[in-house]
Amino acid sequence: MVRGKFITFEGIDGAGKTTHLDWFRQQLAAKLAPSGHAVVMTREPGGTPLGETLRGILLDQPMDLETEALLMFAARREHLAQVIEPALSRGDWVLSDRFTDATFAYQGGGRGLPRDKLEALERWVQGGFQPDLTVLFDVPTETANERRSAARAPDKFERESETFFARTRGEYLRRAAESPQRFAVVDATRTIEDIRKELEQTIASF
Question: Around 26, how many Cα atoms within 13 Å sit in the side-chain half-sphere?
Answer: 6
- Residue whose CB is less far from ligand TYD, 9 or 93: 9
Closest CA to 77 of 143, 35, 127, 41: 127
C-alpha distances (whole Å) from 20 to each of 115, 117, 181 are: 30, 32, 21
- Give contact residues for ligand TYD (rule: CB under 6 A): 13, 18, 44-45, 59, 72, 97-98, 102-103, 106-107, 155, 157
Write down the least CB distance from residue 68 to ligand TYD, Å.
Answer: 7
Smallest distance, ligand TYD to C-beta of residue 54, A: 10
Choice between 159 and 197, CB closer to ligand TYD: 159
Q: C-beta of 143: minimal distance to ligand TYD in Å?
A: 15
- CB 60, min distance to ligand TYD, A: 11
Between 13 and 78, name the residue whose CB sits nearer to ligand TYD: 13
44 contacts 97 by C-beta, under 8 angstroms: yes
The nearest distance, CB 17 to ligand TYD, in angstroms, is: 8
DSSP 28-74: HHHHHGGGT--EEEEESS-SSHHHHHHHHHHHH----HHHHHHHHHH
Would you say 85 or 155 has its CB closer to ligand TYD? 155
Q: Which is nearer to ligand TYD, 58 or 87 (CB)?
A: 58
Distance of alpha carbon 161 from alpha carbon 123, whole angstroms: 30
The radius of gyration of the chain's CA atoms, rounded to the nearest angstrom, is 16
